[in-house]
Amino acid sequence: MRKQRMLAGVLIVTMGAAACTRAATPAAPTPAPAPLTGATSGAADARAAVESFMKAVKAQDLQTMAAVWGTSRGPARDQLDREQLEKRLIIIQCKLDHEQWGFAEDRARLLAGGKQDFQVRLRQKGASAVTSFTTIQATDGRWYVEIVDLDPLRDFCR
């Protein structure tokens, strides 16, 4: 259900992507990144996956975001076609852009299937919101950000 909500949120946001005020698309086409596998993708633990993802968001580093965002099968960059991946990541990056972020709770909430849910607080230009990041461990043993709830972040990207 949460995965569907994120996907629906991404699709809705995709239709309104022009609403983002700052350009997050590269000036020139970039070559498709090589698929990452094993220790070069994901993170060693669930919390580190969220931390890596948020650092990549701040740096506007779509390649690192693509290497840490994924499913039980591994990184999203190995599962989605490049155009769809870039569109989704640009929207997620715009929504998660922040001046400051941190974990709203000390521990993750354990979910079915070994997933872990983290509450993350974001601050941007006087606005503050708490959203959830669901992480999952892939068959390669690495952890990925599987779901980001974009609903609480409506006011962060206009």
3-state secondary structure of 90: helix
Q: What is the block-wise mean pLDDT of the chain (158 residues), using blocks of 10 residues? A: 42 38 40 44 97 97 96 95 96 94 95 96 92 97 97 83
Looking at residue 158, its pLDDT comes to 65
pTM of the model: 0.76
Question: Domains of the chain, with CATH numbers?
Answer: 2-12+40-146 (3.10.450)
Q: Nearest 5 degrees, angle CA 28-CA 36-CA 49?
A: 100
- Write down how long the chain is: 158
- Taking alpha carbons only, the member of 95, 42, 102 closest to residue 66 is 42
3-state secondary structure of 142: coil
DSSP codes of every residue in 11-43:
HHHHHTGGG-SS--S-SS--PPPPPP-GGGSSB
Helix (H) or strand (E) holding 57: helix 46-58
Looking at residue 40, its pLDDT comes to 82
Q: How far apart are CA 47 and CA 45, in angstroms?
A: 6
Please say whether the dihedral angle defined by the alpha carbons of residues 148, 152, 154 and 155, taken in this order, is positive or negative: negative
Q: What is the DSSP letter of 108?
A: P
